[in-house]
Amino acid sequence: MRWLWIDSILDHEPQKRLVAIKSVSLAEDHIHQHFEAGPDGPAQPLMPASLMLEGMAQTAGILVGSVRDFSEKVILAKVTHASFERDVTPGQSIKYDAVIERMDDAGASTTGVISAFDHRSGVWTEIGRTEIIFSHVDKNMSGLDLPDHNFVFGENFRSILSQLLPARQ
């Protein structure tokens, strides 16, 4: 994983729930490409829904991995549902609230609620919901030896995980 779509962890109920936050800023390059100014009007910078889905997948993936103390490789297996009702613009924050619905040796299913915080109004508004299934790739039947550097729990997540597991620093 090369990109982090969460900034910090707000709440953690072990084996149940993880809440993370992402602040959306005009300093992020991808914001300016969605949507650029054109002949039909001025620029309308937005956080793409696909990146909000990735932020939820990262949040839920950390939650699933934490259940077994990050001893197994966790990969996103399927997005069974994702809906987004509103856009998120620079100056707002996104909250990812992930819950484990089922967990077994093969993997886990999670549900999530995505909310946006408008700092001007001071109100959180639900903007989306997800259902995501994860697989414990170490338990797969393919026999493939998959490289560690391709997984979420690599070096890029050490600062995020230190918020979740401060005793491990």
Active site residues: 34
Backbone angles phi, psi at 58, to 5 degrees: -65, -45
Backbone angles phi, psi at 32, to 5 degrees: -75, -15
Closest by CA to 112, choosing from 130, 94, 127, is: 130
Tokens coding 133: 């299934």
Bridge-based pairing of strands 107-118 and 92-103 is antiparallel
Tokens coding 155: 């070096």
Closest by CA to 59, choosing from 4, 102, 119, 140, is: 4
